[in-house]
């Protein structure tokens, strides 16, 4: 990061709106996500309809875009822009190469996941899906809504957790790698609704995404990786649920729009 940009981020350390946004990301977002997911789980399988899932997807999409809008307003008030938060091409060949590399890696991972899904026993699928089973898409409309959520998460969460939080933490600590580590921990906590294992897994992914951003200088490869990984999870989850239904495991009826 150029010294003038780093100095501009340091001025945010004394700005109330910057601290308010950071507090929302660190504390409010995890609490809200946990509350929403608990309410979702409390419905029970029979009442988790397509409408319920699409409503949950839509609320998450709106929340993330509102947070990004707030971030952009704070940046503008202090003479910064989305480019200063990493939403830029940086070194074009390097950015494109990194983006293509992460997409190729995702394709390989997806092929491996598909192979394992075909071989997995129903009880293994139930254990792997866990309490996220009712969250994954199970039909065409749900998949469309989930894909929109994945794209939103890829763009917005990278802007918020890598673009905003990493820079604020670097300005506060003076170390980019401490900022990457701390940001990954906050990112994991933000996904507390997935349980302890889910938090650890998400924090590890956040560590990789932070390192990728630091090395490339652009959020774009991480956004592609983030969105693609989430979509892979949704497609794999949908296939697993389809297999469970075909096997009659779990007695989970098809979702409907009512």
Please give the pLDDT value at position 255.
Answer: 39
Residue 252 within any structural domain of the chain: no
pLDDT band at 257 (very low <50, low <70, confident <90, very high): very low
Please give the pLDDT value at position 189.
Answer: 86
- Whether 249 shows a pLDDT value over 90: the answer reads no
Residue 214 within any structural domain of the chain: yes
Buried b or exposed e, range 14-32, using 16+ CB within 10 angstroms: eeeebeebbeebeeebbeb
* pTM for the whole structure: 0.88
Residue 191 within any structural domain of the chain: yes
Residue 255 within any structural domain of the chain: no
Asked if residues 105 and 228 have their Cβ atoms less than 8 Å apart, the reply is no
Please give the pLDDT value at position 254.
Answer: 39
Three-state DSSP string of 165-223: HHHHHHHHHCCHHHHHHHHHHHHHHCCHHHHHHHHHHHHHHHHHHHHHHHHHCCCHHHH
Task: Residue 8: give the domain boundaries.
Answer: 3-247
Dmax over CA atoms of the chain, in Å, equals 61
Residue 36 within any structural domain of the chain: yes
Residue 258 within any structural domain of the chain: no
- Whether 243 shows a pLDDT value over 70: the answer reads yes
Q: Based on the structure, what is the number of domains in the chain?
A: 1
Residue 201 within any structural domain of the chain: yes
pLDDT band at 251 (very low <50, low <70, confident <90, very high): very low
pLDDT per residue over 142-175, tens digit each?
999 999 999 999 999 999 999 999 999 999 998 9
Query: What are the CB-based long-range contacts (under 8 Å, 24+) for 201-209?
Result: 205/229, 206/161, 207/180, 207/181, 209/158, 209/161, 209/162, 209/184
Please give the pLDDT value at position 252.
Answer: 44
pLDDT per residue over 81-105, tens digit each?
999 999 999 899 999 999 999 999 9
Residue 254 within any structural domain of the chain: no
């Amino acid at each position: 990061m150029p010294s003038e940009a780093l100095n501009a981020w340091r001025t945010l350390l004394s700005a109330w709106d910057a601290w308010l946004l950071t507090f929302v990301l660190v504390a409010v977002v995890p609490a809200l996500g946990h509350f929403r997911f608990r309410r979702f789980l409390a419905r029970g399988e029979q009442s988790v309809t397509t409408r319920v899932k699409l409503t949950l997807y839509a609320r998450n999409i709106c929340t993330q875009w509102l947070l990004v809008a707030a971030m952009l307003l704070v940046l503008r008030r202090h003479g910064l822009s989305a480019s200063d938060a990493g939403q830029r091409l940086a070194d074009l060949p390097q950015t494109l190469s990194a983006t293509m590399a992460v997409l190729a890696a995702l394709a390989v991972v997806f092929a491996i996941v598909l192979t394992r899904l075909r071989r997995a026993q129903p009880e293994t699928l139930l254990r792997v899906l866990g309490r996220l089973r009712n969250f994954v898409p199970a039909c065409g409309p749900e998949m469309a809504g989930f894909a929109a959520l994945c794209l939103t998460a890829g763009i917005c969460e990278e802007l918020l957790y890598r673009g905003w939080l990493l820079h604020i933490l670097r300005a506060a600590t003076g170390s980019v790698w401490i900022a990457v580590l701390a940001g990954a921990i906050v990112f994991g906590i933000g996904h507390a609704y997935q349980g302890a294992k889910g938090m650890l897994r998400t924090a590890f992914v956040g560590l990789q995404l932070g390192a990728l951003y630091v090395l490339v200088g652009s959020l774009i490869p991480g956004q592609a990786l983030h969105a693609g990984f989430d979509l892979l999870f949704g497609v794999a989850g949908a296939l697993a649920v389809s297999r469970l239904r075909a096997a009659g495991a779990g007695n989970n009826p098809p979702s409907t729009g009512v």
